[in-house]
Structure 1
Amino acid sequence: MYAMVLAARGAPLVFQERPDPLPGPGEIRIKVSACGVCRTDLHVVDGELPDLSYPIIPGHEVVGRIDALGDGVTEPAIGMRVGVPWLGQTCGVCSYCRMGRENLCDRPQFTGYTRDGGFATHLVADARFCLPLGLSGDDVALAPLLCAGLIGWRSLVMAGDGKNDGKNIGIYGFGAAGHIIAQVARSQGRSVYAFTRKGDHDAQSLARSLGADWAGASDDKPPVELDAAIIYAPVGALVPQALRAVRKGGRVVCAGIHMSDIPAFPYDILWGERQIVSVANLTRQDGIDFLGAWAGANLQIHTTVFPLDQANEALARLRDGALVGAAVLRP
């Protein structure tokens, strides 16, 4: 197999040939056909997440086909197309797992962070945590759904149901997750207000083309009070800006796994029963709910495709904000 390997914090990924991995009990081996490049991969490469062990292969938006089964695995079967998301394994016995909140597991494993991921031609995954993808849909277009879509979906649900709450939604950071979830929100009858970096006219044009009611810079005031705001950009300074944009009783959802420090802000912009909440990982049920409803839907997934050995270029363009939509690696 071939892989892009992170050997040390902040180092460029190195293209390496390795022996093909063998699946252990309960595991499957997947031949990767596409792997999305997520901002969390930048946090891994930059060493911004705790307890990183090197070397590690990043990548957690994996689409591929099963080519080997470990002992005890009967489903999914060889040849099936599956997706491998961020949540790679849970303990199943801690209090959070027992209460159905496996996204908060005390002893989790994460694809591309604590176990090797999909910036490779092959990877091994726990069969229980792989998501069936069926036959419809393009591999490249499906890849961003495995994190940008799933985390986006969880954050949208937390923002309100779109009927009794969460009708007017602000989206801060209109990249991979933002451009997917804006379409889902619009299809649910919500109004979408997109916030981008100042001067990012390409992202604002994309937002309008996907049905956003308004698009502007992150420090602009939207034309209406928002019921909720979802922050996908890892910028803590957006939290007080979003609080100023939401109505009384509104909610600000922080959807990233890592964010820069939130600056001090006056209490009056939180007062009025406004809330700040975070999204932590995802559950397998999130995957079933989202992919079951949206994987075959007419979502326009905007991607830029890179060969596997150009993963560093894809990461650099993501860091610089030079991508519209999502980057996807193809081995």
Structure 2
Amino acid sequence: MPTVHAYAATEAKGELEPFEYELGDLEPDQVDIKVESCGICHSDVSMLDNDWGISAYPLVPGHEVTGTIDAVGESVTYVSPGDRVGLGWHSQYCMTCDQCMQGHHNRCANAVGTIVGHHGGFADRVRAQAAAVTKIPDGLDAAEVGPMLCGGVTVFNPMLTKRLSPTARVGVIGIGGLGHMALMFANAWGCHVTAFTSSGPKMDEAKKLGAHETINSRDDDAIEAAAGQFDMLLSTVNVNLNWSLFLKTLRPDGRLHFLGAVTDPVELDLMPMIFGDLSAGASPVGSPATIRTMLDFAQRHQITPVTEHFPMSKVNDAMEHLREGNARYRIVLDRD
């Protein structure tokens, strides 16, 4: 039985410390991944702090894993030892519910999160169901792919599933870990892209990342001036804004789509939505098929997230860097 060397917190908001555990016998549909890199997502912070009330300790974070297959269960044929693979938010699906059978595994009510009741990728090894693992295309740098397996597919998913037109005008609210990838994907999709940010330096950076225009997200007059411009707004922030003001920037049949985890109630004016035939919604990460499509798209357009790398032994320094809001734009831990 393999021994995993990991980093875990034993209490909410605690430091990550060396932690070992035994994996047990490999199930027929499972694989073991030898971890090479693992991105840090803000969801890792939320789980460490038990912000959502679902954390269990000791908790090993990390759900943006890249590495190589080290062992496969007897029924696994999709991947083989040595294959470069990635693992995102989910580590297992039930495979029998209507959502799974229709290809919407990301909606499976019985899916197991990679860091929810399961030890994640801040480790030298992680175990998962083979169906949750994705091969990494040869044209992508595996060390940079991790952030796309959660953050990247989160912003890519609505572009694909909501059938975003390549001629659409898209606004991205918040240019951070999610938003900067939304700019790159939407630009490569063919859209006219506008970045909403309150940061002066990020306005210049946003244009380098794919934005054609920028708007100060704290300037109500500037937002008002954009009335009726957008087919879709992708909100990547985790705080409440004046959403009814943002609704005014949508064209008829436009959509305000939430991707950031806003935990407080969201207020929207219904009447403008009725008269403009507008919609608001949200979505989780993508299915395994959507992740594959995203990686193929990223390879074709040579899209990679902007990352900063830390050795995994410096995980607490990396977490503090993220907590302080200094990450540009995603942090990746490399196993040392």
Give how far 1:193 is off: 0.9
RMSD of equivalent CA atoms: 2.2
Call closer, same or farther: CA 1:283–1:219 in 2, change over 3 Å.
same
Q: Are the aligned partners of 2:243 and 2:267 in contact in 1 as well (CA < 8 Å)? A: no
Q: Quick check: 1:37 aligned with 2:36?
A: no
Call closer, same or farther: CA 1:201–1:325 in 2, change over 3 Å.
same
Partner Cα separation in structure 2 for residue 163 and residue 70 of structure 1 = 41
Give how far 1:133 is off: 0.8
Counterpart pick for 1:254 among 255, 258, 262 = 258
Aligned residue in 1 for 2:60:
57
Q: Quick check: 1:73 aligned with 2:76?
A: yes
Matches within 5 A, 1:120-199: 120-158=123-161, 160-163=163-166, 167-196=168-197, 198=198
Partner Cα separation in structure 1 for residue 189 and residue 172 of structure 2 = 15
Runs of 4 or more above 6 Å deviation: none
Call closer, same or farther: CA 1:318–1:245 in 2, change over 3 Å.
farther
Partner Cα separation in structure 2 for residue 211 and residue 52 of structure 1 = 36
The C-alpha deviation readout for 1:11-31, integer Å capped at 9, x for no partner, is 222232445665332111111
Partner Cα separation in structure 1 for residue 326 and residue 178 of structure 2 = 15
Q: Are the aligned partners of 1:193 and 1:213 in contact in 2 as well (CA < 8 Å)? A: yes
Partner Cα separation in structure 1 for residue 279 and residue 66 of structure 2 = 36
Q: Counterpart of 1:318 in 2: which secondary structure?
A: helix
Call closer, same or farther: CA 1:150–1:263 in 2, change over 3 Å.
closer
1:171 maps to a residue whose letter is V
Q: Counterpart of 1:174 in 2: which secondary structure?
A: coil
Give how far 1:278 is off: 0.8
Matches within 5 A, 1:1-331: 1-19=4-22, 23-158=26-161, 160-163=163-166, 167-196=168-197, 198=198, 200-220=199-219, 221-222=222-223, 224=226, 225-237=229-241, 239-256=243-260, 258-271=261-274, 272-295=276-299, 297-331=301-335
Q: Which moved more, 1:171-180 or 1:125-134?
A: 171-180
Q: Are the aligned partners of 1:218 and 1:238 in contact in 2 as well (CA < 8 Å)? A: no
| TM-score scaled by length of structure 1 | 0.90
Q: Counterpart of 2:248 in 1: which secondary structure?
A: helix
Q: Are the aligned partners of 2:90 and 2:112 in contact in 1 as well (CA < 8 Å)? A: yes
2:27 maps to a residue whose letter is G
Partner Cα separation in structure 1 for residue 308 and residue 25 of structure 2 = 31
Give the number of equivalent residue pairs.
Answer: 326
The C-alpha deviation readout for 1:65-124, integer Å capped at 9, x for no partner, is 111223333431111100111122111222322333222212111112232111111111
Structure 1: where are the runs of 5+ without partners? Answer: none
Call closer, same or farther: CA 1:264–1:287 in 2, change over 3 Å.
closer
2:188 maps to a residue whose letter is S
Q: Counterpart of 1:229 in 2: which secondary structure?
A: strand
Q: Counterpart of 2:26 in 1: which secondary structure?
A: coil
Q: Are the aligned partners of 1:159 and 1:253 in contact in 2 as well (CA < 8 Å)? A: no
Partner Cα separation in structure 2 for residue 206 and residue 15 of structure 1 = 37
Q: Are the aligned partners of 1:32 and 1:63 in contact in 2 as well (CA < 8 Å)? A: yes
Q: Are the aligned partners of 1:172 and 1:232 in contact in 2 as well (CA < 8 Å)? A: yes
2:164 maps to a residue whose letter is D
Q: Counterpart of 2:66 in 1: which secondary structure?
A: strand
The C-alpha deviation readout for 1:179-238, integer Å capped at 9, x for no partner, is 222122112221111122x3x233222211123112233233356421110011112335
Structure 2: where are the runs of 5+ without partners? Answer: none
Partner Cα separation in structure 2 for residue 238 and residue 2 of structure 1 = 45
Give how far 1:158 is off: 4.8
Q: Counterpart of 1:289 in 2: which secondary structure?
A: helix
Call closer, same or farther: CA 1:295–1:230 in 2, change over 3 Å.
same
Identity %: 27
Q: Are the aligned partners of 2:47 and 2:54 in contact in 1 as well (CA < 8 Å)? A: no
Call closer, same or farther: CA 1:189–1:95 in 2, change over 3 Å.
closer
Partner Cα separation in structure 1 for residue 267 and residue 142 of structure 2 = 43
Q: Counterpart of 2:147 in 1: which secondary structure?
A: helix
Partner Cα separation in structure 1 for residue 318 and residue 245 of structure 2 = 29
Partner Cα separation in structure 2 for residue 242 and residue 14 of structure 1 = 43
Partner Cα separation in structure 2 for residue 73 and residue 293 of structure 1 = 26
